[in-house]
Each structure stands twice: as C-alpha cells, then as structure tokens.
Amino acid sequence: MDTLSTNRAFGGTQGVYSHASTATGTDMTFSVFVPPHEPGAKLPVVWYLSGLTCTHANVTDKGEYRRACTELGLMLVAPDTSPRGDGVPDDPEGSYDFGLGAGFYVDATRAPFDQHYRMWTYVTEELPALVADRFPVDMARQGIMGHSMGGHGALTIGLRHPDRFRAVSAFAPIVAPSQVPWGRKALGGYLGDDAAAWRRHDAVALIEDGARVPALLVDQGAADQFLVEQLQPERLAKACADAGIDLTLRLQPGYDHSYYFISSFMADHLRWHAERLD
C-alpha cells in the first residue's frame, strides 16, 4: 500500500492510499479518515460508496464528514467506483453511466468486463482485509452508506452481509436497478441476462427474496433530477413495508442530487451509524 497523501484535519488524519488490487488486476485508490483516538484504540468504521462518475476524491473533498467523524470517533473509508488504468475497457460509447467510474459494485461476468470489473469482491473482501490490516479499526463495528450508484452498493452489500454491517444508510440510492435505465444498462452490460444475478444486485429484489436488515436510513432530495426515472424510492418503501424492515425515508424539499445535498445530511447519517456501532 502506497500513501499518496496525508493531511491533518479536524484533529485526525485524512489519507489517500493506493495499492495493487488482485480483485481488479489494477492499482486502486481509496481514502481513509482516522479521527483522533487513544493509542491502541480500535475504531468503528463507516464505508462510503460513491456514485456514477466519482472517485474517492468527491466525498473526500465535498462530503463534510470529518467534523462528525471526529466528534463520534468514526473512521470513514471511501473506495473508487471502478477499476482504472491501461487495459481496463470502458463503455464503447464513452458514456458516463457504464465502464470507468460506473462499476456498480458487481463482479462482471461478461467479456471484456469480467477481467477487471470486480468491484463486489474488491469492496466486500479485498479492501476490508487491507483496511483491517493497516488501520486501527474494529471490524466488529462496521456501517455502510453510499450515494446514488453507491447507495445501491451500500444497500445490496448491507442486505447480503447482515452480520457484518450494523448500520446501513443511503443518499438518493438506486433502489431497484433491474427496473430503471441506469441499472438495466449496467446489470445487462456486466452480468448479461442472468436474472438470478440481477436479483442479487437489486436491493428491492433482495428484500423480496428474504434479505433483511433491522433498519435503514435513506435521504432523498425532492428536487433530484433523477428521482422519477432512476431512483424511485417508493419501490424501497413498499418492499420494506411488506418485509417489516424499519425504513426511515426522508424526502428533503428543494434538495438535488449533488454533494450540496449529501453534505447537508452527512452528519445525520454518521450519528445514525454511531448509535448503532456503540
């Protein structure tokens, strides 16, 4: 693991790191904020998964999580959203919603993407092992959150690892990728027409198929330009109601899909995680 930068911030350390990933076959960059802590302490950690077009840098620059992480004693880890580099295939049409910056937190099974686009394994296995090895983290106290495509990632990973993540939340998540254009393009492109695989990467389908978490917190901007076509939080509301999952879904008037929205509610989410990671 190479340290690309470290900066003192809010009494802790904001670092950016790179390592050669065996999951993706590329170098991968991620950021970690470590709040001030006693020597030898092991800290609870929140994973933040980013949305389309983002890298670790968007939330690191604009997420405004460090004050709350310091106050609450939380680490925050932000991975990249796809493999990158020489030999990594992009969308042939160069669109923003497939390929680079759009890994969708799945392990691709379709060529040519199956060689490098293995973000599920990267985020659920390889990076946690690295973080556990190199940072002062208590892996018994983990939460996961994300934005948009990363909200999809947080929900699906949280639902499939109920014993690992004590808290799951999302900002403007893609809750039912099988049903919306972004998701159908990504799941089709990475997984082909394997209907069972699609359901394992669709939060609403996972709940319909029996996956459970105790509670979910979701914030959604009411002025989000992607609300109706891509996000459709009412599908999550219905699935949670049917399944008896305690969903707190807050429609925030006037807010859009940007980091202005995310940063406004970041501290709320981190407090919600901290309460569950005590």
d(Cα 81, Cα 75) in Å, to the nearest integer? 19
Helices (H), ranges, the chain? 56-62, 66-72, 119-121, 127-134, 149-160, 181-191, 195-200, 203-208, 233-243, 259-276
At its nearest, how many Å lie between a copy of itself and the CB of residue 151? Answer: 19
Residue ranges in contact with a copy of itself by CB under 8 A: 7-11, 14, 61-62, 64, 66-67, 221, 223, 254-256, 258-261, 263-264, 267
Shortest Cβ 153–a copy of itself spacing (Å): 24
121 vs 263 by CB, closer to a copy of itself: 263
User: Rounded distance, CA 29 to CA 153, Å?
Assistant: 18
User: Of the two residues 9 and 215, which places its CB atom closer to a copy of itself in the complex?
Assistant: 9
Distance CA 29, CA 81 (A): 10
Q: In what order do the strands lie in the sheet with 12-20?
A: 2-9, 12-20, 27-34, 75-79, 43-49, 137-147, 165-171, 215-221, 246-252
Omega into 83 within 30° of 0, i.e. cis?
Answer: no
Whether 257 sits among the annotated catalytic residues: the reply is: yes
Active-site residue, 273 included: no
Q: How far is the CB of 256 from a copy of itself (least distance, A)?
A: 6
- Taking the C-alpha atoms of residue 8 and residue 220, their distance in angstroms, rounded to an integer, is 32
CB of 43 to a copy of itself, least distance (A): 19
Among the options 56, 224, 269, 273, which is catalytic? Answer: 224
Instruction: Return phi, psi of residue 169, to 5°.
Output: -145, 170
Among 230, 70, 47, CA closest to 143 = 47
Q: Please, which residue, 65 or 105, has the CB nearer to a copy of itself?
A: 65
Nearer to a copy of itself, 8 or 92 (CB): 8
Q: Which is nearer to a copy of itself, 186 or 262 (CB)?
A: 262
- Residue of 148, 202, 219, 269 marked catalytic: 148
Q: Are strands 27-34 and 2-9 parallel, antiparallel or unpaired?
A: unpaired
Catalytic-role residue among 56, 257, 269, 273: 257
CB of 114 vs a copy of itself, minimal distance in Å: 36
Q: Which residues are part of the catalytic machinery?
A: 148, 224, 257
